[in-house]
Amino acid sequence: MTLSPGSAWENTVFRDEDFSDGLFQNITFTRCSFKNIPMDCLVTEHCTFDQCDFTFTRLGGSTHRFSGFLNCRFSGASLFGARFFQCKGTGTLFADARLTGAVFTGGSYSYAMFGGCDLSRQDLSGISFAGADLQGCRFQKSVLTGCSFSRALLSGADFTGADLRGAVLGGVDFRSITMKNTLIDLNQAVLIAESLGAHCADL
């Protein structure tokens, strides 16, 4: 099933629809529910989902380009192999979603909630995670160059083998995260040292 491009939907509960292999273009959804319906291989382009519920929704293999997911909920949703290109996920709950094989390319996920998610071995370069809840997330061997983690909650996060060069790390509590064989730049090294109580003196 495919909805008309440019249409707007508000307070709509989709129950029996099957959006698998569908195409959404320039559609706005506000406070809509897609709970537990098939949306496998769906393609969205320049769509906005505001305060929508995707609990237990099947979105495996779906592709999203320049779409916004604002304050949405993906609890228990299957995002296996889903691809997000330059999307916005401000305030959205991804924790408890199945993200195996999901790919996030660019975009902003400020204040999103990824707590405990496995985001390892991904190229997440340039993404903004400012203010996001990333507690317990696994970023092992991920490319995180140019990302913003400003004011993000990172307690228990694992950056083993990750590349953090150029990432914004202001306000991060480095005592609560794992950084083993992690690539950092000189400015980050100074920031980390000072956050741990060291003082860098001129040579």
Q: For residue 62, which of 47, 40, 77, 78 has the smallest C-alpha distance?
A: 40
Residue whose structure tokens are 């956050």: 195
The single-letter DSSP state of residue 133 is: B
pLDDT at 203 over 60: no
Question: What pTM was estimated for this model as a whole?
Answer: 0.90
pLDDT digits (tens, 9 = 90+) for 107-156: 999 999 999 999 999 999 999 999 999 999 999 999 999 999 999 999 99
pLDDT digits (tens, 9 = 90+) for 170-191: 888 888 999 999 999 999 998 8
pLDDT at 200 over 80: no
pLDDT digits (tens, 9 = 90+) for 91-107: 999 998 999 899 999 99
Q: In whole angstroms, give the CA distance from residue 148 to residue 137.
A: 15
Query: Which pLDDT value is given to residue 173?
Result: 85
pLDDT at 1 over 80: no
Q: In whole angstroms, give the CA distance from residue 156 to residue 138.
A: 9
Residues 6+ apart with CB under 8 A from 202: none
Q: For residue 92, which of 72, 110, 64 has the smallest C-alpha distance?
A: 72
Q: For residue 151, which of 188, 119, 198, 110 has the smallest C-alpha distance?
A: 110
Q: In whole angstroms, give the CA distance from residue 91 to residue 93.
A: 7
- Read off φ and ψ for residue 149, nearest 5 degrees: -115, 20
Parallel/antiparallel/unpaired status of strands 63-65 and 48-50:
unpaired
CA angle 50-61-39, nearest 5°? Answer: 50
